[in-house]
Amino acid sequence: MTRMNRSLICIAAALLVCLLAIGTVSAYDPDTACTSLKEVIAGSGNLTALELVFDYSDGSIGCIKLWTENIIDPSGSLCNNLEEIINPRNTKRDLSRIVFTAVAGDDRISYELSPEKSLFIKLPEAEVFPNLSTLTKEFGNTLPHPTDSLRLSYGPFHDLGYTRTGSSVTYWAKSWTDPATTLPVMTAESRILMKSGLKWVDSCYTGNTEFYVKNILAQSTSPPLPTGTYKQTAHFEGYKADYSWYEQNLENSNQFTI
C-alpha cells in the first residue's frame, strides 16, 4: 500500500469518527431552549396548563402535562424536564420534534422547538395533546391476529413509585418483561393528583409510548406542589409478543401530604 493510499484511508477514518461524534450530539441547545420556553410562558398570560410533547425518530412519543392551578413555578419545572429530554442521563435517543402548547381554558397555542436556533416558534395551528391509548390501539390494528404459539410467562410486569425532594416529587411508571422479550408496543403513564374536597384533581402527568421494546419507563419531576394531600396513579397498556392486548391500572397505596 502506498503512502498516499494510507493517508487517504486515515483521512477517511478521521472524517467518519467526526461524523459519528456529531451524530450523537443533540441538535438542540438546552440552555437556549429553556430560555425560549420561559419567555413563551411568561408572554402567554394566565395559563391553565402547560404541555410538552416530544417525538423520536423511531416513532416513539413522550409527553408531559402540568396543571398550573395545582402546582408552583411550572415553567421552572418544565425547563428541567426539557433539559433531561434534550440531554438524557440514561439511554440516548434521536429526537425528531419537540412541541410546547400553552393552554388557557379552551384556547391553545403551540410552538415547535427549532433545531437550528433552539427557539420555540409559533405554529399556525394548535396541536392536540396526544392520547397514548388511542395511539397504541391504532398501532395494534396493524398487527396480526393474536396467536397461541408463544406461551412464555414473560409478563409484562408493572410498577409505579415516587421519591420526594422538599415539595417536589419525581414520579415514575414502568413495565418490563422477564425473560426479556420484545413487545410490539408498550405504553406507560402516571399522574400525581391533589385532593380537592371529595374529589381528586390532576396536578402532573407523564407518559411514553414505544415500539418493539422489552421495557418502558415514563418518569418526570413535578414542580413544587402547594400544601395538600396527593396520590399517584398509573396506567399501562400495549400488545404482547403473541399480539394479544394487555392493560392494567395501578394506584400507589402511599399517599403523601405537603
**CA–CA gap between residue 100 and residue 121 (Å, rounded):** 9
Mean pLDDT of 207-217: 97
* The pLDDT of residue 27: 82
Percent of all residues in the chain with a pLDDT value above 70, rounded to a whole number: 88
pLDDT tens digits for range 85-124: 999 877 677 999 999 999 999 999 999 999 999 999 999 9
Percent of all residues in the chain with a pLDDT value above 90, rounded to a whole number: 78
Q: Using the predicted structure, report yes or no on whether residue 10 has a pLDDT greater than 50.
A: no
**pTM to 2 decimal places:** 0.86
Residue 3, C-alpha cell as written in the block? 503512502
Q: Using the predicted structure, report yes or no on whether residue 149 has a pLDDT greater than 60.
A: no
Peptide bond into 130 cis (omega under 30): no
Mean pLDDT of 154-163: 96
